[in-house]
Amino acid sequence: MEYKKYPERTPLNIVSIPFIYMMIVPSVILHIFLEIYHTVCFPLYGIPYLKTRDYIKIDRHRLKYLNPVEKLNCMYCGYVNGLFHYASMVAAMTEHYWCGIKHEKKKGFQPPEHHKDYPEFGDKEAFRRKYVNKS
């Protein structure tokens, strides 16, 4: 809750509230479509099903020392940040199934952790060893 350190920013923080909370609509839409995809496709691909509750955690609103606005903000952040983490894991598992090759190395690009065991970009032999020459 870094904002508490800067009380002089309160008017600017208030102005930003609608922009923060309007993101709930696309987040819920993302969640609906993500869940449809996850439920239909993962069993078809033989990918283990992820439990949403392992990623979305809404619990900080029970803290007695938070005021009602802080509790609401914590619920919102728990949902949206958890949803994005969940979506990232669904995407990572999909990428692992369909696109298991590292990206070309470019300055500033931060490859995801799940790329560590992928063949290098442009390494045809490593690609064949990992995926093509399986019996």
Q: In this structure, what token pair is assigned to residue 86?
A: 């969940």
15 and 67 housed in the same domain: yes
- Tell me, yes or no, whether 127 and 115 share the same domain: yes
User: Which string of DSSP letters, residue by residue, matches 55-108?
Assistant: T----GGG-TTS-HHHHHHHHHHHHHHHHHHHHHHHHHHHHHHH--SPPPP-TT
Number of domains into which the chain is organized: 2
Give the pLDDT confidence score for residue 89 in this predicted structure: 96
pLDDT at 133: 66
Instruction: Verify that 20 and 70 share a domain, yes or no.
Output: yes
Task: Verify that 68 and 83 share a domain, yes or no.
Answer: yes
Tell me: do 38 and 77 sit in the same domain.
Answer: yes
What is residue 12's three-state secondary structure?
A: helix
Domain housing 25:
2-99
The verdict on 47 and 109 lying in the same domain is: no
Q: Quick check: 78 and 71 in contact, CB under 8 A? A: no
> What tens-digit pLDDT sequence spans the chain (135 residues)?
888 888 888 899 899 999 999 999 999 999 999 999 999 999 999 999 999 999 999 999 999 999 999 999 999 999 999 999 999 999 999 999 999 999 999 999 999 988 999 999 999 999 999 898 665
Same domain, 108 and 87: no
